[in-house]
């Protein structure tokens, strides 16, 4: 039975990955900070799908956190066939007005931990000439986003990095997929402290996390390098930047994302 390691598995898209992969008979290693939520999910999935579910409680924004997770996996003798780098968060507001520590933590989690885990787990996958990685970016990866400047920049990194890894590893039979969801049902907007006016006026329907995960796994099966989930509006958002002058693009995004409260 293959084993998947999922970061940010305690809720939202990560928990949906855990449920869908357990249903598809994967053993799981669940990683996040909330031990109670991870243990509860592990017990449910073990019982429901008769798979083995391990839990690693780890703050992935801590320096060396990816290495700590990898070392635990090696020490326990587990093999990871699918790595899902999903843990991440955003932060809404004018960059200069938001706490610097939060921006740096975002870089550690959204970028550094993902790079560390990708590098460490790719070694074994390349030796075995099998395995896959799903890196979770966002449709925010396709353009600069005023009021989500750091978040969009971290996701642009994830998209560029993942597509390059896809090309480097495809001939070895290793899949690397960059998942780019649009607005999805999860704690994301609460954690990012979106203002009330943005929550109500953005108008875009939230897609269930389970649907995002099914589309991602379908794309991974087809060995695609990236997938934009959530239908035509998200395809337009992802492709529009290629057709617009950059200054006009960022001015338009600024208007859409400026809070009415400002």
Beta-ladder partners of 134: 84, 177
Dihedral sign for Cα 83, 84, 86, 87, please: negative
| Contact code string over 12-51 relative to ligand NAP, x by CB under 6 A | xxx-----------------xxx--x--------------
Q: Check residue 157 for interaction with ligand NAP (CB under 6 A).
A: no
210 binds ligand NAP per the rule CB under 6 A: no
Site for ligand NAP in 163-182 (CB under 6 A): 181
Select from 10-18, 46-54, 95-103, 245-253 the region that touches ligand NAP (CB under 6 A).
Answer: 10-18
How far is residue 257's CA from residue 147's CA, in Å, rounded to a whole number?
Answer: 7
**Dihedral of the alpha carbons of 232, 237, 243, 247, in degrees to the nearest 10:** 160
CB 172, min distance to ligand NAP, A: 26
- The DSSP string of 184-205 is BSSSHHHHTT--HHHHHHS-PP
By CB under 6 A, tell whether 59 contacts ligand NAP: yes
Q: Does 226 bind ligand NAP (CB under 6 A)?
A: no
Residue 9 Cβ vs ligand NAP, minimum distance, rounded to whole Å:
6
Segment (H or E) for 236: helix 232-239
Render the burial of 87-98: b for 16+ CB within 10 Å, e for the rest.
Answer: bbbbbbbeeeeb
The site for ligand NAP (CB under 6 A) is made up of 8-14, 32-34, 37, 59-61, 86-89, 109, 136, 138, 181, 183-184, 186-188, 191
């Amino acid at each position: 039975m293959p084993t998947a390691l999922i970061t940010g598995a305690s809720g939202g898209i990560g928990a949906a990955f855990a449920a869908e992969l357990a249903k598809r008979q994967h053993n799981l290693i669940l990683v996040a900070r909330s031990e109670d939520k991870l243990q509860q999910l592990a017990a449910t999935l073990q019982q429901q799908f008769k798979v083995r579910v391990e839990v690693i409680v780890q703050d992935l924004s801590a320096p060396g956190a990816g290495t700590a997770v990898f070392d635990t996996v090696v020490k326990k003798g587990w093999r990871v066939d699918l790595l899902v780098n999903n843990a991440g968060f955003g932060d809404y507001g004018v960059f200069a007005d938001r706490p610097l520590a939060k921006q740096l933590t975002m870089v550690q989690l959204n970028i550094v931990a993902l790079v560390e885990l990708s590098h460490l787990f790719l070694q074994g996958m390349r030796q075995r000439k099998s395995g896959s990685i799903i890196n979770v970016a966002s449709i925010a990866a396709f353009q600069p986003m005023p009021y989500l400047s750091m978040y969009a920049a971290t996701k642009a990194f994830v998209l560029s990095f993942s597509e390059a890894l896809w090309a480097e590893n495809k001939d070895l039979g290793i899949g690397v997929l960059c998942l780019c969801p649009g607005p999805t049902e999860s704690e994301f907007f609460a954690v990012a402290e979106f203002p009330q006016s943005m929550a109500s006026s953005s108008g875009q329907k939230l897609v269930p996390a389970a649907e995002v995960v099914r589309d991602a796994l379908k794309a991974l099966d087809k060995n695609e390098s990236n997938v934009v989930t959530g239908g035509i509006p998200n395809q337009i958002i992802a492709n529009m930047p290629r057709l617009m002058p950059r200054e006009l693009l960022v001015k338009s995004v600024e208007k859409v994302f400026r809070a009415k409260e400002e």
